[in-house]
Structure 1
C-alpha cells in the first residue's frame, strides 16, 4: 500500500536491513527482477515512484509495467496476468 505518497515504512525498513545483511549491500537486490504494484486509497503513483527509485538504487531490474489499484479503480486482470507472465519469462532466463 501507499503510505502518504511513499512506500510503507515497514517495507523501507525491511529493505534497509536486508541490504545490510551481506558484505556487499546490493547482494540481495542486484539484478533481481521486480514487478511493482500498489493499492491506494489515494492516487498511488507517488508510492510506485518511491519504490522504483529505491529498487533502482539497490540494483534491481524493474519491469516497466506497474499495477495500480484504488477503491475506484479495480485490478485490470489482463494487465496482472501479463505482468506475471513477464516476470515468469524473465525469471527463466
Structure 2
C-alpha cells in the first residue's frame, strides 16, 4: 500500500482536544483520522449501492405498472378493511 500525506488546517483548540481524546483511548490522531476516512468512504459506497438498488426497484415497479399489472384501489381498500376488522375482532376477544 502506498502512502500519501494529507495536510489540512484546523483550529488549535480543536486539534488539542482531538489529540487528548485520542490519547485517552490509546490511539493517535492519525489512526483515528484514517479510521474516520475509511468509515466515510464505506458509508458513501453503501449509500450509492442502496441508491442503485432503490432506483432499480422503482423502475421495476414502474415497468410493471406500465405493463398493466395493477390492482384496483377498491380491491386494495376492501382487502385491508377486512384485515383491520379481523384485527379489531381479535383484540376485542382478548
Measured against the shorter chain, the TM-score band is under 0.3
Report which of the two structures shows the higher radius of gyration computed on alpha carbons: 2
Structure having the higher helix fraction is: 2
Higher relative contact order (CA 8 A, sep 6+): 1
TM-score by length of 2: 0.22
TM-score by length of 1: 0.22
